[in-house]
């Protein structure tokens, strides 16, 4: 892929980007402010820049006059980089330039971890749980009257050295006709035992040679969304994936409200039915997209938090919400997928990830396994950030875990104009420190319609560093801008005026919104601070931080540290794995190594109930400020803010 160097003047800031990257986003990543309030849709015309040298594609709109175009002006949000560039940003005065150059910091995102199938093979971890074997069998005759199942097993032993084989009843029912209708040329599907010495099950038989068609499904059952992947077990690739909102949302947005609903007459059955319907919708979608037959799917692996798992299995979750918070089980046996109501072949086994406690479920165990934390000596802090934040710390020898209720702010909940990370969501933001005019970018470069979690973090951090709000999240009242105003007795900042949005209303962020974010980040920060101290560690003892969850790939790490969501640390220590639960399910579909190790890993995990840990509440209260009551936890931020105050005197 071609890479180009872009230099922004008058700041003399340089950044290397890929061919075709968007110029406005590039400026944002370089820490260069350009006025832009329409999210990159090209309708406000404020991101006008001068291309002094080099080539861009696009950026020519009716917002620019013929004279502007002749001089080399373009709209940054509509321009794609096609060569090395020198770009000059029109600046109102030298004061603006000085402030921006001194305090605008490049955007730093976490390194993204991906599952490498070839790496699995190289490490000897590719031990397929389900494999196919092709056989051409001699038909029976007067001298050879072996039963069909015995014939199949004998030739599997002889050709492939397979031992301790047993055929399941549905297969026995299929064998006679399948053998004869295919001239005794068939493919047997074998399910390997997790532990050596146990029986291998023949779970399916198909006519002809279908060894190149073997698929599995990985499914993450989230409280809000359910995601599924269809995995080719030959290549290791994800051939289709899709997500749907969990149908249970209609009966409660969080786990506690669903537990309450499950206690009603017929409530448990209803919640089971709607989540199964959601899963089936995803299955139909991904098999159709990949042009795969249901009979070609050999297994499905599922993970969810403890409540979601019990609702899927139609187990009463009532006792999860009452002290001493006891789940029905943390380990689950293999289950026939059809017995759960899943629209899969009767040969398919559903494997459900084990949980740790009532509030640290199989989704977190799957993330720990998928990310390989159980195989490393590095002390790792694992954070799955959502409505409920789950925290794990440890290495291959030990783990400690806990959960805390962060609230829905990171997923757009509890924020007036909050939304999930979807097209039109404000995901990146900066502000001119003199005029207080915004620069913002939306997902999809379209007109804004709301704020997603990563955007919310960046907005609040930027406000705080620029002195627009104080450490309590309150707006300073003496700001010289019409963007800060009072509405219904609460101060707010207008991010986008109504005529530049998709929703024909001003998009604002209020002190109430900021307070919800502070409470959410405070719960997470105090949660892992408490967990670390309970096991005798400090932040400095952590070798690596792994982020899981929906917004981690977009989050500006520096901004997350500014608000006190993450400890102040080297961004290079932070890795993003995306949907950790789905990753773990995918890995389990590819290798029996994880299925073998997972039970041992759960035995190494010690759960801490934060609500019963006396120091947690004290630490939580101390975290309800930006970034924290103890600013010395954030020495780099402290130094930057001191420098800013000296500069602006």
- Interval 327-366: pLDDT, tens: 999 999 989 999 999 999 999 999 999 999 999 999 999 9
The whole-number pLDDT of residue 167 equals: 93
At residue 432, the pLDDT reads: 86
What is the DSSP annotation of 136-175?
EPPPPBTTB---HHHHHHHHHHHHH---SEEE-HHHHHHH
Topology (CATH) of 1-106: Ubiquitin-like (UB roll) (3.10.20)
pLDDT at residue 550 in the model: 65
- Residue 421 to residue 415: CA distance in whole angstroms: 14
Secondary-structure class of domain 245-292+300-352 per CATH: alpha beta
Residue numbers of the chain with a pLDDT score lower than 50: 92-104, 106
Confidence (pLDDT) at 102: 40
Residues in contact with 518: Cβ distance below 8 Å, sequence separation at least 6, in sequence order: 460, 473, 563, 624, 625, 626
What are the sequence ranges of the domains in the chain? 1-106, 118-207, 245-292+300-352, 373-408+519-639
> Using CA atoms, how far apart are residues 525 and 528, in angstroms rounded to an integer?
6
What pLDDT, on the 0 to 100 scale, is given for residue 556?
84
**DSSP secondary structure string, 487-534?**
ETTEEEEEEE-GGGSSSSS-EEEEHHHHHHHHHHHHHHHHHHHHHHHH
pLDDT at 608: 92
Q: What distance in Å separates the CA atoms of residue 595 and residue 602, rounded to the nearest whole number? A: 12
The CB density around residue 404, as the number of other CB atoms within 10 Å, is 24
501: which residues sit within 8 A by CB, 6+ positions away? Answer: 447, 448, 449, 507
Between 3.10.20.880, 1.10.580.10, 3.30.479.30, 3.10.20.30, what CATH number should domain 118-207 receive? Answer: 3.10.20.880
The pLDDT, as a whole number, for residue 115 is: 57
* The pLDDT of residue 32: 84
**Distance set, CA 323 to CA 319, 402, 611 (Å):** 8, 16, 11
547 CB-contact burial (10 Å; exposed 0-12 / middle 13-18 / buried 19+)? buried
Residue 94, pLDDT score: 31
Q: Are strands 605-608 and 507-510 parallel, antiparallel or unpaired?
A: unpaired
Cβ(418)–Cβ(449) under 8 Å? no
Cα 545 from Cα 566, distance rounded (Å): 9
Q: What is the pLDDT of residue 413?
A: 77
User: One fold for both 245-292+300-352 and 373-408+519-639?
Assistant: yes
The superfamily in CATH containing domain 373-408+519-639 is ATPase, nucleotide binding domain (3.30.420.40)
Distances 210 to 171, 204, 215 between C-alpha atoms, Å: 16, 11, 11
C-alpha distances in angstroms, 141 versus 138, 172, 185, 337?
9, 20, 16, 38
pLDDT at 96: 39
């Amino acid at each position: 892929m071609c890479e180009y160097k872009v230099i922004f003047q008058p700041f003399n800031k340089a950044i290397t980007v890929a061919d075709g990257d968007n110029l406005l986003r590039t400026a944002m990543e370089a820490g260069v402010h350009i006025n832009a309030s329409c999210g990159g849709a090209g309708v406000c015309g404020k991101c006008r820049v001068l291309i002094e040298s080099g080539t861009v594609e696009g950026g020519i709109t009716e917002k620019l006059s013929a004279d502007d175009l002749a001089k080399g002006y373009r709209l940054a949000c509509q321009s794609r980089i096609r060569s090395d560039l020198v770009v000059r940003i029109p600046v109102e005065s030298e004061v603006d330039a000085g402030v921006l150059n001194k305090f605008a910091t490049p955007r730093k995102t976490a390194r993204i971890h991906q599952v490498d199938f070839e790496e699995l093979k190289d490490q000897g971890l590719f031990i397929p749980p389900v494999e196919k074997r092709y056989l051409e069998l001699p038909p029976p005759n007067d001298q050879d009257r072996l039963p069909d199942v015995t014939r199949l097993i004998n030739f599997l032993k002889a050709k492939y050295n397979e031992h301790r084989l047993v055929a399941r009843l549905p297969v026995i029912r299929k064998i006679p006709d399948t053998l004869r209708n295919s001239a005794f040329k068939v493919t047997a599907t074998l399910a390997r035992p997790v532990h050596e010495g146990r029986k291998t099950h023949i779970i399916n038989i198909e006519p002809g040679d279908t060894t190149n068609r073997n698929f599995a499904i990985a499914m993450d059952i989230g409280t809000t969304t359910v995601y599924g992947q269809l995995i080719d077990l030959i290549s290791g690739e994800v051939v289709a994936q899709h997500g749907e909102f969990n149908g249970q949302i209609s009966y409660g947005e969080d786990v506690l409200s669903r537990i309450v609903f499950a206690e009603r007459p017929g409530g448990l059955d209803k919640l089971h039915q709607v989540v199964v319907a959601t899963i089936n919708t995803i299955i139909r979608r991904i098999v159709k997209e990949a042009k795969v037959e249901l009979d070609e799917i050999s297994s499905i692996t599922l993970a969810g938090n403890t409540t979601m798992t019990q609702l899927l299995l139609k187990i009463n979750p009532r006792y999860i919400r009452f002290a001493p918070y006891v789940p029905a089980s943390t380990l689950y046996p293999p289950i026939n997928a059809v017995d759960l109501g899943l629209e899969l072949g009767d040969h398919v086994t559903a494997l459900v990830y084990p949980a740790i406690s009532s509030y640290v479920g199989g989704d977190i165990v799957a993330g720990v396994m998928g990310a390989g934390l159980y195989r490393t000596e590095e002390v790792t802090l694992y954070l799955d950030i959502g409505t409920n934040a789950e925290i794990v710390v440890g290495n291959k020898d030990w783990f400690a875990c806990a959960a805390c209720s962060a609230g829905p702010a990171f997923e757009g909940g509890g924020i007036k104009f909050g939304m999930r990370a979807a097209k039109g969501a404000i995901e990146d933001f900066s502000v001119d420190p003199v005029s207080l005019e915004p620069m913002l970018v939306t997902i999809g470069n379209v007109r804004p319609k709301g704020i997603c979690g990563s955007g919310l973090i960046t907005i609040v951090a930027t406000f705080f560093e620029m002195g627009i709000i104080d450490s309590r999240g309150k707006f300073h009242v003496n700001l010289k801008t019409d963007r800060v105003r009072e509405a219904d007795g609460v101060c707010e900042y207008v991010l986008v005026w109504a005529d530049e949005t998709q929703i024909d209303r001003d998009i604002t962020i209020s002190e109430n919104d900021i307070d919800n974010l502070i409470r959410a980040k405070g719960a997470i920060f105090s949660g892992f601070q408490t967990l670390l101290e309970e096991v005798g560690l400090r932040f400095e003892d952590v070798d690596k931080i792994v982020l899981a969850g929906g917004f981690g790939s977009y989050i500006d790490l520096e901004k997350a540290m500014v608000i006190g969501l993450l400890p102040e640390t080297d961004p290079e220590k932070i890795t993003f794995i995306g949907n950790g639960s789905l990753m773990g399910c995918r890995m389990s579909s590819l290798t029996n190594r994880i299925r073998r190790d997972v039970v041992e890993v759960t035995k190494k995990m010690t759960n801490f109930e934060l609500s019963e840990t006396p120091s947690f509440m004290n630490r939580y209260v101390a975290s309800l400020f930006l970034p924290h009551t103890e600013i010395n936890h954030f020495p780099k931020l402290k130094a930057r803010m001191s420098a800013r105050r000296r500069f602006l005197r």
